[in-house]
Amino acid sequence: MILPCAAVLFDVDGTLVDSTPLVERAAREWAAEYGIDPDEFLADAHGRRTSDRVADFLPPDRVREATARLDALEATGTDGITALPGAVELLAGMNGLPHAFVTSMDRAQLELRTGAAGIPLPPIVITAEDVPDGKPDPSGYLQAAGHLGVDPSGCLVIEDAPAGIAAGRAAGATVLAVLTSHPRESLAAAHHTVENLARVAAAPDGLHLRL
């Protein structure tokens, strides 16, 4: 299958990088400190800004401090962080196709995790600090498309989580979901799904999928 597009907008964590072991360890330690059920917290945390998920559990006057604490716990190491299948190869072979990263991580987390996984950062990167609202709000994808000079409707968003898929669709982009962190039925809102990025190759006019 060929998906024509003028630019590709990549989510990072769960799409290009697997940092699940680090994130879960930090979240469980953090949740114990704040008297929160860690399984409940983690159930809908993936793909969302940390501050937005923390705000689901704590009053507004505690969100900043609690977010900083969780960020600090996540920044204590890189054990278990790896590139997901096909990610490095796809990025190395973009063949001039414009692309950007749009992540719910902050810049420090992004640099730490991509560095550990060997994922090169493109010139255009939109992080949690760059948007007024996190995914599922489309702000990040709209900003990335604007920086690339491409209409959002001409972009292909690659995501692994429901919140990110909703953000991509709200931006007006075509969304390709990778089955790296959620079951297929959770990602039904995506236009297309593929097992992982090892089944994706780039050409100047878009992405080629092996289903």
Catalytic status, residue 56: no
Q: Return the axis-axis angle of helices 162-171 and 139-148, rounded to nearest 10°.
A: 50
The answer to whether the beta carbons of residues 172 and 152 sit under 8 Å apart is: yes
The answer to whether the beta carbons of residues 145 and 151 sit under 8 Å apart is: yes
CA 42 – CA 26 distance, rounded (Å): 11
Q: Of residues 13, 18, 137, 160, which has the active-site annotation?
A: 13
Catalytic status, residue 11: yes
89's enclosing H/E stretch is helix 87-92
Phi, psi of 207 (to 5 degrees): -115, 145
Catalytic residues: 11, 13
